[in-house]
């Protein structure tokens, strides 16, 4: 999520978990639901505006991050599950 950093906290140790609440939902969208990049980008923009109270965000950044995540799906599928 460091590529998607709407409040600019990357590199601040105290804020390293700032986006953790959203990672699971994005993962489910990408891996389980096979959401398209535009749907993931819309979700990220919704988080920025409705949940964080920011002005409408950088649509290009959200789209770029969403496209990166969708492109990574095959890589995640190829990696073995971690042992329990």
What predicted TM-score, i.e. pTM, was given to this entire model? 0.84
User: Is residue 5 assigned to a domain?
Assistant: no
Domain count along the chain: 1
pLDDT in tens, 39-83: 999 999 999 999 898 988 779 999 999 999 999 999 888 876 666
Residues 6+ apart with CB under 8 A from 29: 35, 39, 40, 43
User: Is residue 4 assigned to a domain?
Assistant: no
> What region does 53 belong to: left with phi over 0, alpha with psi -120 to 50, or beta?
left
User: Is residue 26 assigned to a domain?
Assistant: yes
Range of the domain at 35: 13-78
User: Is residue 39 assigned to a domain?
Assistant: yes
Which residue's entry shows tokens 């998607």? 4
């Amino acid at each position: 999520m460091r590529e998607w950093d709407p409040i600019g906290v990357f590199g601040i140790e105290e804020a390293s978990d700032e986006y953790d609440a959203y990672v699971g939902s994005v993962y489910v969208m990408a891996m389980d639901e096979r959401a398209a990049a535009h749907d993931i980008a819309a979700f990220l923009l919704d988080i920025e505006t409705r949940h964080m109270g920011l002005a409408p965000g950088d649509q290009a950044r959200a789209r770029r991050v969403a496209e990166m995540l969708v492109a990574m799906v095959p890589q995640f599928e190829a990696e073995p599950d971690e042992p329990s």
